[in-house]
A = this chain, B = another copy of it.
């Protein structure tokens, strides 16, 4: 087994960047190969189709996201609410970074693909759905810890985690539509106060 297949990785990275900048449908296999400095035959040596490349891309970069970004935001020495706040900060920094690098605010890489392909490719839809569920699991655990510590009143932590993800996806979509990452700063904080199923309400 080869430890890191260079060509395969370059294809994945090129596809990820191109899809993020311009969407799945508007990026061709040829262009992905050109950016990776590879011929088309090599693409189909490593991936049976554009769809399969996309599935691999989603899995591998989500694992990287969890290991690097998420592990830092959700680290246990922070209080639960600090973790959610760090998550929000990460989103703002990422949107601002892409704005500086590309001149455009590109939104959420997963939300973009979910929006474009959920109705077109059932396999990809299910994959992104399961990634979103994994994400909300981390958020839900954080919320449960917050409830146990008394930081927030009891609530439906699973539904609240889903609602928080929904809000941040919507915020990123609006930031993309406005082409302005500052939207995240202006309205992002409200994610901390979203609650579903509190006994009081």
Find residues 144-171 in chain A having any chain B CB closer than 8 Å to their own CB: 159, 162-163, 165-171
Select the stretch in A5-13, A54-62, A179-187 that faces chain B.
A179-187
Establish whether residues A173 and B179, one from each chain, have CB atoms under 8 Å apart when the complex forms: no
Interface residue A40 (Cβ < 8 Å from any Cβ of B):
no
In whole angstroms, how far apart are the Cα atoms of A120 and B27 in the complex? 11
Establish whether residues B170 and A171, one from each chain, have CB atoms under 8 Å apart when the complex forms: yes
Which one of B114, B183, B186, B189 contacts A173 once the chains associate, using CB atoms below 8 Å? B114
Instruction: Tell me how many chains of this kind the complex includes.
Output: 2
Cβ distance A154 to chain B, nearest Cβ, rounded Å: 16
Establish whether residues A177 and B129, one from each chain, have CB atoms under 8 Å apart when the complex forms: yes
Establish whether residues A116 and B116, one from each chain, have CB atoms under 8 Å apart when the complex forms: yes
Over the window 16-29 of chain A, the binary record of Cβ atoms lying under 8 Å from chain B Cβ atoms (1 yes, 0 no) is 00000111111000
In whole angstroms, how far apart are the Cα atoms of A173 and B17 in the complex? 22
For chain A, which range describes its interface: under 10, 10 to 19, 20 to 34, or 35 or more residues? 35 or more
Interface residue A86 (Cβ < 8 Å from any Cβ of B):
no
| Chain B, Cβ-Cβ closest to A133 | B178
Interface residue A45 (Cβ < 8 Å from any Cβ of B):
no
Interface residue A106 (Cβ < 8 Å from any Cβ of B):
yes
A-B pairs, 8 with minimum CB distance: A170-B170, A25-B25, A166-B170, A115-B115, A169-B170, A163-B187, A114-B177, A166-B171
With contacts A173-B166, A174-B166 known, is A193 near B201, CB below 8 A?
yes
11 contacts between A and B (CB under 8 A): A22-B119, A23-B25, A114-B177, A119-B176, A125-B179, A132-B178, A162-B186, A169-B170, A186-B196, A187-B196, A190-B195
